[in-house]
Amino acid sequence: SSFATIAGPAGYTFNPATGNAVTITFAQTSARYVRVNITANTGWTAAQLSELEVYGTAGGGGDTDTQAPTAPGNLTVAGKTATSVSLTWSASTDDKGVTGYQVRSGGAVVASSTGTSATVTGLTAGTAYSFTVTAQDAAGNTSPASNTVNVTTDAQANTNLARGKATSESSHTQNYGSGNAVDGDANSYWESANNAFPQWVQVDLGSAASIGRVVLKLPPQSAWQTRTQTLSVQGSTNGSSFATIAGSTGYSFNPATGNAVTITFAQTSARYVRLNFTANTGWSAAQLSEFEVYPA
C-alpha cells in the first residue's frame, strides 16, 4: 500500500539488436512488492513488458543467496469437494529461511501459502487434477517440486455416479441382466433367478467416491402392481470386503408415485455399491430397472 521510489523516472531504450532488454540497478533495499510505473512508449500506445526480473544483491560479508530450499515432502490430499482440494505437506529447509510455498497444477501456480497447507478452489466437479508444491526463499530461489498427487474432485450432488458403469449380479433370468439397471431406461430391468433369495446386484463406480444416496426404480407402467422389496445397501472400496451402509428394510415400490424409492445414509466412501435382496411381495425374484448412486 505504501511505495517508495527505488529508481527515478528515466527513458530506457529497448533494442532487439542488443537483446531488447534493460537493466536498472539501484541501492540495495528491502521490498516484497516491486512496481514499475510506465508513462510513455515511443513504439506503441501502451505500456509493454515481457519479463520483469528482480534480483538479490551481495549482502553483508559479500555472500549472495543462491541456495534453493529443499523440496517439500509428503504432499497429501487432506480433503476435497466438488470445487476444491485441500493439500498438506512437510516443511522445506533453507540456509536463510523459507518464505512461502506455491501449489502448482500443469505448471501454473494455483495457490500460495506461508504454511504447510493450502486449499485450491475454483475447480471443476468430477475432474482429475495433479498437484505439486515448491518452496521459495527471500532471495527468490525456488526448490525442486514435491511429489505429485493425483485427485479427482467430487461430482455434483445430483450426478448419477452409476449411470453406464460396470455391473455384476448373483443371477439373472432370460435377458434381464444387471446392465439394464444402469442404462438410464426405466423400462428395461434386471430380474434375478426365481425362488432363490437372497440375491444381489452391484455397480462398480470406477473409483472410490463419496456417496450419500441411492435411488431405486421399477418400470412405471400400470401393469406393475405395488410391491415391497426387502433389501440392504453395502459398500466396498476393493470389491471383496463390504460394509453395510443401510440395513435391511422393506421398501414399497408404488406405480402411482413413480415406482421409485430413495435411500439416504451417512456419507461414505465406496467404489462398489451392492444391493442385497431377501424378499419381494410382488414376484418371486429381485427386480430393479434403475440403480442410481449419488454423492448426496
- How many other β-carbons are positioned within 10 Å of the β-carbon of residue 120? 20
Which range, 13-22, 48-57, 182-191, has the best average confidence (pLDDT)?
Answer: 182-191
Q: Please report, as a single letter, which amino acid is at residue 78.
A: A
Going by C-beta distance under 8 Å and a sequence separation of 6 or more, which residues neighbour residue 181?
A: 167, 189, 190, 201, 203, 288, 289, 290, 291
Which pLDDT belongs to residue 63?
A: 54
Q: What is the CA radius of gyration of the chain?
A: 31
CATH assignment, 73-152: 2.60.40.10
d(CA 101, CA 111): 8
pLDDT confidence band for 238 (50 / 70 / 90): very high
pTM score: 0.61
Q: Is the pLDDT of residue 61 over 60?
A: no
d(CA 47, CA 33): 19
Instruction: Retrieve residue 116's grid coordinates.
Output: 504447510
d(CA 208, CA 58): 53
Q: What is the DSSP string of 137-188?
A: ETT--BPPP---EEEEPPPPTT--TTTT-EEEES---TT--GGGGGSS-TTS
In the chain, what are the domain boundaries? 73-152, 166-294
pLDDT confidence band for 250 (50 / 70 / 90): very high
- 166-294 belongs to which homologous superfamily? Galactose-binding domain-like (2.60.120.260)
Lowest mean pLDDT among 16-30, 96-110, 149-163, 183-197: 16-30
Going by C-beta distance under 8 Å and a sequence separation of 6 or more, which residues neighbour residue 136?
A: 69, 98, 99, 100, 101, 102, 142, 143
